[in-house]
């Protein structure tokens, strides 16, 4: 009888045991999993152990159909599949391919197959075809670190090619993969293409916005230091229009940032567009979104909107219409840049370093402060409306400013439009480079030690800020955020020290700190 390859035949065992390597995605990390397939005499059965979810348990029917329709025999024995480690939950159809290969190896139908240093992922169709699976990019990156080659579905080849240090071998069918393993036919590795930098503007430009010079200045500061921003104003003042153009002011992502953002999109099971992988994400969930949709969760945890906006922009329009309990869950991610989702059996951590931009009306009817007498809201109703946003949440937003109505004369003006997004982006890129060379991060990401070192004030500026904070009853958090904001304004002016002028402008961008 044909002997099983040595790499899948432990000493002292028969050829009825096969072991292959694969990976399960936990958060945005790919954890190594060993697929052990054992064939034993007895009544035909198929059991899977090792905390498999429903989709993994159902793999037995997909595997049986794929093996039979590919021209192989499905062994009429007791088949036991163990997914180790046993205490790690397994989900999805990514284990179909290694399970099928394990059965073929254990039954001796793949003589001479070489699988050492290889890992396998893929969902099987009933005809043996390989279907797309989520989480391929984290898997490919982990295989590269382990110096393993990765066999995967061909439809995931472009995504896996982003992991430049991993040999990814895509196949469209189980037979193609078996032919490669037995040396009959070679698979062509997925080559890493030199992806051209995508157009950052996406057809939008800040010069499209007429008027609102104060808001445009705020957008440039937010982009330069990665500061969160809240627009408050009547309907039609351009709040959504301004927010949608903020991504056009941000430079293209660096390679490590792009890989992190792409890995999250891969895990989230979203449509992975290879041509946009360097474009910063822009997420704008509806105000009816649940807490799980916004921050992540579910029985099988998935990243939420704040993680899918990692290294990009999260826009929350009609902020006061969101559930207050949902908004409160933004408080920790705004501080830490990550979100931890705990379950009884395990917990996952998703990165969430997003740039928050929000917009809301000043009152329930929306016309407070628009220069007309249309607002009929009472002081109590205005207070109740603004009470939907808690003080701790407002405290964590670096800038909040009121947007006035734009006059018809400004809209009809044929004067030269303001600066384009590309002009502002060039300045933003320069300021960001200055921050990274000085402290290794952007100003909004200062630690307490960095804040003390790089935001030191002279006696005049310190006295001025102390008086303002005492009169407005500002918290320590608001005090620190003013310092970070002033540091960014100073960097934009190419000033080495923070002065009273920079502090005054930073305080002016916090309109909700005063009545």
What's the pLDDT tens digit per position in 225-241?
999 999 999 998 899 99
Task: For residue 5, name the pLDDT band (cuts at 50, 70, 90).
Answer: very low
Contact between 172 and 188 under an 8 Å Cβ cutoff? The reply is no
Q: Output the CA angle 466-467-468, nearest 5 degrees.
A: 95
Contact between 159 and 272 under an 8 Å Cβ cutoff? The reply is yes
- Identify the pLDDT of residue 513: 79
Is pLDDT above 50 for 262?
yes
Mean pLDDT of 442-456: 94
Which of 225, 140, 200, 177 has the alpha carbon at shortest distance from 427? Answer: 225
- Identify the pLDDT of residue 21: 97
CA distance 383 to 446: 34
- Is the omega angle on the peptide bond into residue 250 within 30 degrees of 0, that is, cis? no
CA distance 268 to 262: 10
Across 382-464, the runs of DSSP E, i.e. the strands, are: 399-402
Contact between 56 and 65 under an 8 Å Cβ cutoff? The reply is no
- Identify the pLDDT of residue 200: 58
Task: Give the range among 170-184, 187-201, 211-225, 235-249 with minimum mean pLDDT.
Answer: 187-201
DSSP H or E segment with residue 433: helix 421-439
Which of 449, 434, 440, 438 has the alpha carbon at shortest distance from 480? Answer: 449
Question: What's the full length of the chain, in residues?
Answer: 515
CA distance 430 to 423: 11
Contact between 68 and 60 under an 8 Å Cβ cutoff? The reply is no
SS (H, E, C) 171-209: ECEHHHHHHHHCCCCCCCCCCCCCCCCCCCCCCCCHHHC
pLDDT digit string, tens, across residues 284-335: 999 999 999 999 987 778 899 999 999 999 999 999 999 999 999 999 999 9
Give the rounded percent of residues in the chain with a pLDDT score beyond 90. 72
CA distance 458 to 436: 24
Task: For residue 15, name the pLDDT band (cuts at 50, 70, 90).
Answer: low
> Can you tell me whether residue 40 is helix, strand or coil?
strand
Is pLDDT above 50 for 469?
yes
Task: For residue 175, name the pLDDT band (cuts at 50, 70, 90).
Answer: very high
Which of 183, 11, 177, 170 has the alpha carbon at shortest distance from 112? Answer: 183
- Identify the pLDDT of residue 1: 34
Is pLDDT above 90 for 440?
yes
CA distance 427 to 441: 17
Which residues, other chains included, contact 188 with Cβ-Cβ below 8 Å and sequence gap of 6+? 169, 170
- Identify the pLDDT of residue 195: 53
- Identify the pLDDT of residue 515: 56
Q: Rounded to 5 degrees, what are φ and ψ at 80?
A: -120, 125
- Identify the pLDDT of residue 278: 82
- Identify the pLDDT of residue 343: 77
Which of 354, 262, 364 has the alpha carbon at shortest distance from 309? Answer: 354
CA distance 209 to 240: 11
**CA pseudo-torsion sign 493, 497, 501, 505:** positive
Task: For residue 3, name the pLDDT band (cuts at 50, 70, 90).
Answer: very low
3-state helix, strand, coil in the chain (%, to 5): 40, 20, 40
380-392: b (≥16 Cβ within 10 Å) or e? eebeebbeebeee
CA distance 164 to 166: 6
Is pLDDT above 90 for 429?
yes
Q: Quick one: DSSP state of residue 319?
A: G
Q: What value does the mean pLDDT of the chain take?
A: 90
Task: For residue 374, name the pLDDT band (cuts at 50, 70, 90).
Answer: confident
Q: Rounded to 5 degrees, what are φ and ψ at 303?
A: -65, 145
pLDDT digit string, tens, across residues 326-371: 999 999 999 999 999 887 767 889 999 999 999 999 998 888 887 7
Mean pLDDT of 244-257: 92
Which domains are present in the chain? 6-181 (3.30.230.10), 206-439 (3.40.50.300), 446-515 (1.10.8)
Task: Give the range among 182-186, 199-203, 275-279 with minimum mean pLDDT.
Answer: 199-203
β 130-131/338-342 pair status? unpaired
Task: For residue 9, name the pLDDT band (cuts at 50, 70, 90).
Answer: very low
CA distance 105 to 461: 74
Is pLDDT above 60 for 111?
yes
- Identify the pLDDT of residue 199: 54
> Can you tell me whether residue 32 is helix, strand or coil?
strand
Distant-in-sequence contacts of 40-45, Cβ < 8 A, 24+ apart: 40/16, 40/77, 40/78, 40/80, 41/77, 41/78, 42/77, 42/78, 43/78, 44/76, 44/77, 44/78, 44/79, 45/78, 45/79
Contact between 204 and 230 under an 8 Å Cβ cutoff? The reply is no
- Identify the pLDDT of residue 416: 65
CA distance 459 to 300: 54
- Identify the pLDDT of residue 332: 93
- By CB atoms closer than 10 A (0-12, 13-18, 19+), residue 58 is middle
């Amino acid at each position: 009888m044909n002997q099983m390859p040595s790499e899948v035949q432990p000493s002292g065992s028969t050829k009825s045991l096969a072991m292959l390597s694969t990976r399960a995605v936990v958060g945005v990390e790919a954890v190594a999993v060993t697929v052990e397939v054992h064939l034993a005499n007895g009544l035909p059965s198929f059991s899977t152990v090792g905390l498999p979810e429903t989709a993994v348990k159902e793999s037995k029917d997909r595997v049986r159909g794929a093996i039979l329709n590919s021209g192989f025999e499905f062994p009429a024995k007791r088949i036991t599949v163990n997914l180790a480690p046993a205490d790690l939950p397994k989900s999805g159809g990514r284990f179909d391919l290694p399970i099928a290969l394990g059965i073929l190896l254990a039954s001796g139908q793949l003589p001479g197959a070489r699988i050492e240093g290889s890992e396998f992922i893929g969902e099987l169709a009933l005809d043996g075809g390989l279907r797309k699976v989520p989480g391929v990019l984290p898997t490919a990156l982990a295989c590269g670190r382990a110096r393993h080659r990765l066999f995967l579905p061909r439809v995931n080849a472009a995504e896996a090619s982003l992991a430049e240090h991993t040999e990814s071998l895509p196949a469209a069918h189980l037979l193609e993969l078996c032919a490669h393993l037995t040396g009959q036919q070679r698979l062509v590795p997925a080559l890493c293409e030199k992806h051209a930098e995508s157009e950052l503007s996406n057809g939008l430009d800040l010069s499209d916005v007429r008027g609102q010079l104060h808001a445009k200045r705020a957008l440039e500061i937010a982009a330069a230091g990665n500061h969160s921003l809240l627009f408050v104003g009547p309907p039609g003042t351009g709040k959504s229009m301004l927010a949608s153009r903020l991504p056009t002011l941000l430079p293209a992502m660096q390679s490590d940032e792009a890989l992190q953002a792409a890995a999250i999109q891969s895990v989230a099971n979203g449509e992975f567009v290879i041509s946009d992988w360097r474009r910063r994400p822009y997420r704008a969930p509806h105000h009816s979104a649940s807490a799980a949709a916004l921050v992540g969760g579910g029985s099988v945890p998935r990243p939420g909107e704040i993680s899918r906006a990692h290294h990009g922009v999260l826009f929350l329009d009609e902020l006061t219409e969101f559930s207050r309990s949902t908004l409160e869950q933004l408080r920790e991610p705004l501080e830490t840049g990550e979100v931890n989702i705990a379950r009884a059996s395990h917990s996952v951590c998703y990165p969430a370093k997003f740039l928050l931009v929000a917009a809301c009306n000043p009152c329930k009817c929306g016309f407070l402060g628009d220069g007309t007498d249309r607002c009929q809201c009472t002081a109590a109703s205005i207070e109740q409306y603004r009470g939907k946003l808690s003080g701790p949440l407002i405290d964590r937003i670096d800038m909040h400013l009121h947007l006035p109505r734009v006059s018809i004369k400004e809209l009809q003006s044929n004067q030269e439009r303001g600066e384009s997004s590309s002009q502002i982006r060039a300045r933003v890129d320069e300021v960001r480079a200055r921050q990274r060379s000085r402290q290794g991060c952007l100003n909004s990401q200062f630690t307490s030690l960095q804040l003390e070192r790089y935001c030191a004030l002279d006696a005049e500026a310190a006295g001025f800020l102390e008086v303002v904070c005492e009169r407005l009853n500002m918290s320590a958090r608001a005090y620190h955020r003013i310092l970070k904001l002033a540091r960014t304004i100073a960097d934009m002016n190419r000033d080495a020290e923070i002065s009273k002028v920079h502090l005054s402008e930073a305080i002016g961008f916090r309109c909700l700190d005063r009545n």
